[in-house]
Chain A
Amino acid sequence: MLFENMSMAFHAIKANKMRAFLTMLGIIIGIGSVISIVSIGDTLRSMFTDIYKDVGLTQAYIGIGYWIEDVHQSDYFNLDDLDRMKEVFGDEIAYIDSGASASSKVQAGRINMDFDFTGIDYNYIDVQPVTILSGRYLNEGDILGRKKNVVIEEESAVKLFGTADAVGKTFRTTIYGYTDEYNIVGVYRKEMSPFMKLMMGGSSDRGTALIPYTILTWPNDYFYYCHVFAKEGIDLQNFFDRLTAYIAKIKGRQPEDYSQTTAISEMGSVDSVMGGISAAVGGIAAISLLVGGIGIMNIMLVSVTERTREIGIRKALGARTRDVLIQFLTESALMSACGGALGVALAVSLVSLGGMAFGIPVVIKPSVVILAVSFSAVVGIFFGLYPASKAAKADPIEALRYE
């Protein structure tokens, strides 16, 4: 019976192709825009997730709040504080440093270049993996001895020295007013996701290099932030809150006095902004689905009137009320689901084209597609209910007499 109804519905739609297509248009546009918006949202979300993964999703900066007016030196951090934190939260801290960085002019031979230096501990490579192309990473000795050793990024090395094989070479730079000669001990390459590259926007003319963070805590060994990476798989927010509370305790402050900047909350705010946009546009799309549904109801009413005689014949031949009801419901559901499927096709091609144009791998979730097509069928059934029940209730004698 289901198959019979499907084939009847298919034939009825085929008999009025143009009309059916125009009727479906509302659903096509509605479903098309819903899928497009959701897919664009999902694509952006996956972009940001990838970017935060590159940056490190478990990290946080904790420091004395910018709103605190009477800041004392004791509110800042020193190396001993970091050691205490490592001891107390050893199971949860993957990595900790001062979060310091510096920018300065670098000179090597006749080349001058702006460089960004990130101060790191020797195990930074565990939380921010890089590939060592030649030489070595910074080691514990470099850190503890405040050695003027750096690990330089591949492209920066090429720009500065004309070759990636820069191990053993030196440059001069001034950090915090002290000009010194720095040795290149290694060259690294950072693997980046396509999104990250896109965000970075081609090659920059600034160089990057990693230096021992102990150089950047110089000269008084006090620093504003503690920069921490939590271990994977723990409750991050809970951990950061406990860490902040601990810091406040050892500093004789309230936990509210310390500010906490975490990757997850940043990502959460990006997520919520995108969620808001999706919801707004989704609402508009829902209205177009409603209009599409009304269009289907309208055309089904026309169809029921046109086929009054057919309904009469079917009833005379033994169709029950429910048989007629289901026949017309199947027709409107099929029409609507076809509209939904075409809408999906439209959205998928548009989004894929857009993705190709920007060179972004797009995210189209099968669950969204299935949901959209089923939802459009539900729209068809809902708006087909009234016309179908009108058909089902028809009096066979009246219907047979209808010209």
Chain B
Amino acid sequence: MKMIKNPFVRKKETPSYLTENVSEDLIRLENLVKIYDTGAIKVLGLKKINLTIKRGEFVAIMGQSGSGKSTLMNILGCLDRPSLGHYYLDGVDTAELTPNELSDIRNRKIGFVFQSFNLISRTSALKNVEIPMIYAHRPKKERRERALQLLEKVGLGKRFEHMPNELSGGQRQRVAIARALANEPPLILADEPTGNLDTASSIEIMEIFSELHREGATVVVVTHEEDIAAFTHRIIRFQDGKVISDEPNPNPTVTGHENHMEGLYRARENGKEN
């Protein structure tokens, strides 16, 4: 039983699907097909997608609703499995994994940022950031320290005890980003991260992603807004379950300077405290 084991003496071998990989391609889709079986009719959600995203890329996946981008998002996030074809994440074929193994993959390799934030209510920002680390069985002290660091990084160092309903939308999304970074996943996957935010907060959030990208993270943003996609360095467009274009973005939006974020937050925090 997991619950009676002491996490400090836990010495479990890392399963092969979780080992660090050094392949250049973080994401590789090969002839990926997703079929929705609704009983009477079968709907093709994704039609033979071939796609590669390298480590360190900052990518936008665009498309109207019904274009298949949400389906792709679910598969990329290992919440769902492809019907046919292969999805290699960090060199591991996810089609062969069990639901519990997929849970581990989501835990260690993917950092989710959702449109509706998806923080757990009545649970402090700090506890929310700790959740992925709890499921990774990291020691309590380490969890707390890292969660505080991450909240500091997204400019919420002083608000770690706040409940989600005491935070603004932009702040909630920043908590979500801190949570996504908790287990140092190789992939940050954001599904319409600015969909519920005003323009100013949207820009803030995208600046954080840009910053993470500069630090070397692989960031995939699913969106239908052009000016959000404009922050990224590569834009992949979807329509009817197929890729219709895949182009680099030569002039990604850049606001402010290197230390813009810190300055901006400090100013804001000070302003709010007064």
Flag whether B167 is at the interface (Cβ < 8 A).
Answer: no
Q: Which residue of B lies closest to A397 (CB)?
A: B79
User: Shortest beta-carbon distance, B147 to chain A, in Å?
Assistant: 13
Closest B residue to A319 by CB, please name it.
Answer: B135
CB within 8 Å of B: which of A85-124? none
> For the complex, would chain A's binding face be called helix, strand, loop or mixed by DSSP majority?
helix
Please tell me if the beta carbons of B131 and A1 are within 8 angstroms of each other in the complex.
no
Taking CB atoms, residues of chain B closer than 8 Å to A312 are 118
Please give the distance in Å from B126's CB to the nearest CB on chain A.
13
The answer, among B2, B123, B136, for a CB contact under 8 Å with A11, is B123
Write out the residue numbers on chain B whose beta carbons fall within 8 Å of the beta carbon of A323: 2, 135
B137 touches A397 (CB 8 A): no
User: Is there an interface contact between B104 and A2, defined as CB atoms closer than 8 Å?
Assistant: no
Question: In this assembly, does B21 line the interface, its C-beta being within 8 Å of a C-beta of chain A?
Answer: no
Interface pair A2/B3, CB less than 8 Å apart: yes
Q: Does A320 contact B (CB under 8 A)?
A: yes
Please, which residues of chain A bring their CB within 8 A of the CB of B183?
A: 318
**CB atoms of B134 and A320 under 8 A apart:** no
Q: Are A318 and B108 in contact (CB under 8 A)?
A: yes
Contact across chains for B122 and A11 when beta carbons are under 8 A apart: yes
A320→B119 CA distance, assembly (Å): 18
A313 to B77 Cα, complex, angstroms: 13
Kindly provide the distance from the CB of B162 to the nearest chain A CB, expressed in whole angstroms: 16
Q: Are A320 and B106 touching (Cβ within 8 A)?
A: no
How many interface residues does B have (CB within 8 Å)?
33
B87 beta carbon closer than 8 Å to chain A: no
Q: CB distance A2 to B4 under 8 Å? A: yes
Q: A377 contacts which chain B residues (CB < 8 A)? A: none
Q: Are B132 and A321 in contact (CB under 8 A)?
A: no
A326 contacts partner chain B, Cβ-Cβ < 8 Å: yes
Q: Which residues of chain A in 1-34 are interfacial with respect to chain B, using CB atoms and an 8 Å cutoff?
A: 1-5, 11, 15
Is B216 in contact with chain A by the CB < 8 A criterion?
A: no
Residue B51 at the chain A interface, CB threshold 8 Å:
no
A4, closest chain B residue (CB): B134
Q: Any chain B CB within 8 A of the CB of A192?
A: no
Is the beta-carbon distance between A318 and B106 smaller than 8 angstroms? Answer: yes
Interface positions, chain A 206-221, Cβ under 8 Å from B, are none
A396–B79 Cα distance when bound, in Å, is 7
Inter-chain contacts of A360 with B (CB < 8 A): none
Taken together as a complex, chains A and B put the C-alpha atoms of A4 and B183 apart, in Å, by 18
21 A-B pairs with C-beta separation under 8 A: A1-B5, A1-B7, A1-B134, A5-B3, A309-B118, A310-B121, A312-B118, A313-B119, A315-B103, A315-B106, A316-B79, A316-B112, A316-B118, A317-B135, A318-B132, A319-B103, A320-B100, A320-B103, A321-B100, A322-B100, A400-B118
